[in-house]
Amino acid sequence: MHKYSWYFLLISSAVAVLHSMNVAPAFAEEVTNDTSVVAAVELNVISEPIQSSLEGSQAVGATVDEIANVASIEPVETLSVADPLEAVEEADIAQVTSVSQLSDVEPTDWAFQALQSLVERYGCIAGYPDGTYRGDRTLTRYEFAAGLNACLDRVNELISTGLTDAVTAEDLETIQRLQEEFSAELASLRGRIDALEARTAELEANQFSTTTVLRGLTWFNLTGAFADGDVLVETSDLSAPPVIRPAGRDPVTGRPLVATVEDDPEITFSYLTWLTLSTSFNGEDNLVTQLAVGNGDSPANAFVSAGLYNTFGVPFTDQTAQVDIGSNDVIIRELFYSFPINDSLQAVVGPRINWYRYFDNNRFTFFLTGASSFNSGGSTLLNTIDRGSGAALLWQINEQFRLNVAYLGESDEFLPSGLFNTSSNPDEGLFGGTNTITAEVTFSPSSDFNLRLLYNRSNLNAVFGQVGGAPGEPIYGLLDDGAGGPLNDATADTFSANFDWLITPTIGIFGRYTYGITHIEPGDVDAQAVQAGIAFLDFLKEGSQLTLSYMIPFSVLDGHEFLVSGGGDGGVQYEFELTYFYPLTDNIALVPAFYVIGNANNFDSNPTIYVGNLRTQFSF
């Protein structure tokens, strides 16, 4: 729903923005020279029950009789996968004979064959994960050192467990010579492992949680709005704050009461922050808790009729996160749990599910990088519930088709619980208050094109005898019985089509059409909304996006007489928007936006309204 500052949603996705806290050791990567495993050195591993090991850089020159007196020869940590460490500076192989001067160890070198013999005798190295054994390939000196270190570990195990007879004096002499020849590489390997262990320990000590990832978004908004003249607004009390601006009718003529806004609002500077905690218990499920705090009250709201708070000219991030406008209280914006039923079906359940995570998405109107206002981010006639209690099913039918369905009872964080949040109210509950059923089919014949067809059925509670406002889509304004009398609850059917098409790697187009019918006891109100636009990707800088959008947010087709606010004088409001997402770094972006609103509040006689916004966006 796009009518209240708390009303839109972070679509998911978005944006991704925070980093995982897991650590992947550098030495676990695949190595060059076609050798992925430490000492994949032609080693048919034997199954002899021997265990031992030797210190990486300590010379071993003991006789067989002296082996029993060796307590421990500290090895470098055992490695099972080679570290592609930087190669030693190459020497001219044709002019050297010492192994220490070779940049690689060939299968024909004595060192290679000596290590191969140790591996076969002591089972130091298991080989490749697929069970193959590729011992005829050249190793770098660091790969060779890692394999040698594994054999030192194995021999040390034998010594420490008392199986001294399993180690021969000849093998100890071979190990001593190999240690001398590769002392520099063994020392370097040990230093790298020590540094990696220290870094890993530090990360583990300071990580937020072993199961939870914290991500955040923060926005600073500098916003100004002005009009070419006095602006007509439908309200019975212009002095009331725009968020609760009431509507009424003239008792004599029966026409909606109209007031005039003569002064332009002041420039504002506000903030909004979302902190999202994502917890997984098995790697496939996701418990999401999103906290929000903000103090925005966009100056464009000074020009709106009753029931139109946070609609035209209002940047989506220029909002307060909850009921009290300008408050700095932290609230729970989203709380839900998602899990897979099978490979193609996912379930979402929770007391506060964000409708916009799963419906009416569009790559070019996603507010983080694309069209940036409440009206342009999604259809203005959808949805009467932004966040709600209930469940959703997400079915990836095949590569081209996706079906999402959901049932939600009202649980919006920005509506006062005394009148709204009906799903947790025992008097109305999950099924008796305001609720919606939504189904959307997405057709994606390629990664460049998406078409979404959506149907939404709404049950709308009347508040103070009127239907509409924040929880009233597809109504864009307020309804009564046409004569100033109260309404009972209403129902609505809304149909929407939405597409985005990346025509070239840097140019895309998008559009929406929505048709809604609101059923009240005296009759029906039919309305439509239209949006079209173009986006330029990597405009002046890689990763940027320039988005132009044109839209008609609420055109009344039938039932104009029931609108006590939002009908104007029969005019049709239109809007132009220009937004430029410009990334400064991977985590910081500047997003200037400019909005032009004609025939505001559906008054043909209203002057043009202009709104400028400069957003600084931080992701972490």
> What per-residue confidence (pLDDT) applies to 128?
54
Q: H-helix or E-strand containing 431?
A: helix 429-432
**Number of independent structural domains in the chain:** 2
Pick the range with the lowest mean pLDDT from 109-123, 270-284, 373-387. Answer: 109-123
329 and 419 assigned to the same domain: yes
Amino acid in position 224: G
581 and 449 assigned to the same domain: yes
218 and 199 assigned to the same domain: no
Average pLDDT over residues 593-616: 98
Query: What are the C-alpha distances in Å from 241 to residues 302, 318, 584?
Result: 9, 16, 37
> What per-residue confidence (pLDDT) applies to 464?
92
Residue ending a domain, among 177, 206, 235, is 206
Among residues 436, 484, 494, 440, which one has the least CA distance to residue 464?
484
What is the tens place of the pLDDT at every residue in 295-317? Answer: 999 999 999 999 999 999 999 99
Residue 252 belongs to a domain with what CATH number? 2.40.160.10
How far is the C-alpha of 273 from the C-alpha of 44, rounded, in Å?
59
**474 upstream amide cis, omega within 30 of 0:** yes
Q: E strands, 91-211, where?
A: 104-105, 139-140
399 and 528 assigned to the same domain: yes
pLDDT at 526 over 90: yes
Q: Is residue 335 part of a domain?
A: yes
Q: Is residue 15 part of a domain?
A: no
274 and 183 assigned to the same domain: no
> What per-residue confidence (pLDDT) applies to 357?
97
Pick the range with the lowest mean pLDDT from 106-110, 227-231, 384-388. Answer: 106-110
Band the pLDDT of 358: cuts 50, 70, 90.
Answer: very high
Pick the range with the lowest mean pLDDT from 12-16, 497-501, 522-526, 573-577. Answer: 12-16
Handedness of CA 344, 348, 354, 360 (dihedral sign): positive
Band the pLDDT of 160: cuts 50, 70, 90.
Answer: confident
SS (H, E, C) 225-263: EEECCCEEEECCCCCCCHHHCCCCECCCCCCECEEEECC
250 and 179 assigned to the same domain: no
Band the pLDDT of 157: cuts 50, 70, 90.
Answer: confident
Mean pLDDT of the chain: 83
pLDDT at 275 over 60: yes
pLDDT at 57 over 50: no
Is 293 within 8 Å of 276 (Cβ atoms)?
no
Q: Is residue 3 part of a domain?
A: no
pLDDT at 51 over 50: no
Indicate the burial class of 438 (C-beta count within 10 angstroms; 0-12, 13-18, 19 or more): buried
What is the tens place of the pLDDT at every residue in 535-551? Answer: 999 999 999 999 999 99
pLDDT at 512 over 90: yes
Which runs of consecutive H residues, i.e. helices, occur in 182-313? 183-206
How far is the C-alpha of 158 from the C-alpha of 592, rounded, in Å?
69
Q: Is residue 570 part of a domain?
A: yes
Average pLDDT over residues 156-161: 83
171 and 295 assigned to the same domain: no
Show Cβ contacts of residue 14 under 8 Å, excluding neighbours closer than 6 positions.
Answer: 366, 368
Among residues 596, 581, 573, 587, which one has the least CA distance to residue 232?
573
> What per-residue confidence (pLDDT) applies to 584?
98
194 and 258 assigned to the same domain: no
DSSP summary character for residue 548: E
How far is the C-alpha of 564 from the C-alpha of 47, rounded, in Å?
87
Q: Is residue 280 part of a domain?
A: yes
pLDDT at 73 over 60: no
Among residues 478, 469, 440, which one has the least CA distance to residue 457?
440
pLDDT at 70 over 50: no
Q: At what angle do helices 169-181 and 141-160 cross, to 10 degrees?
A: 140
pTM of the model: 0.71
480 and 432 assigned to the same domain: yes
Residue ending a domain, among 174, 206, 238, is 206
Band the pLDDT of 529: cuts 50, 70, 90.
Answer: very high
318 and 408 assigned to the same domain: yes
Q: Is residue 390 part of a domain?
A: yes
What is the tens place of the pLDDT at every residue in 15-33? Answer: 333 333 333 333 333 333 3
* Residues facing residue 231 across a β-bridge: 261
Q: Is residue 186 part of a domain?
A: yes
Residue ending a domain, among 206, 238, 272, is 206
Q: Is residue 21 part of a domain?
A: no
233 and 103 assigned to the same domain: no
Band the pLDDT of 96: cuts 50, 70, 90.
Answer: very low
Expressed in angstroms, the distance from the first to the final Cα of the chain is: 27
How far is the C-alpha of 118 from the C-alpha of 149, rounded, in Å?
11
Length of the chain: 620
**383 upstream amide cis, omega within 30 of 0:** yes
166 and 223 assigned to the same domain: no
Strand order in the sheet with 563-565: 467-468, 478-479, 563-565
Band the pLDDT of 103: cuts 50, 70, 90.
Answer: low
> What per-residue confidence (pLDDT) applies to 342?
97
Band the pLDDT of 126: cuts 50, 70, 90.
Answer: low
Looking at per-residue confidence, does 161 or 389 come out higher? Answer: 389
Q: H-helix or E-strand containing 143?
A: helix 141-160
What is the tens place of the pLDDT at every residue in 195-237? Answer: 888 888 887 777 778 899 999 999 999 999 999 999 999 999 9
How far is the C-alpha of 124 from the C-alpha of 135, rounded, in Å?
14
Which runs of consecutive H residues, i.e. helices, occur in 324-414? 374-377
Query: What are the C-alpha distances in Å from 522 to residues 366, 480, 518, 526?
Result: 38, 9, 11, 13
Band the pLDDT of 130: cuts 50, 70, 90.
Answer: low
Task: Read off φ and ψ for residue 472, nearest 5 degrees.
Answer: -125, 5
What is the tens place of the pLDDT at every residue in 411-468? Answer: 999 888 778 878 998 989 999 999 999 999 999 999 999 999 999 999 999 999 999 9
Domain range enclosing 38: 26-206
How far is the C-alpha of 586 from the C-alpha of 553, rounded, in Å?
34
Average pLDDT over residues 81-85: 36
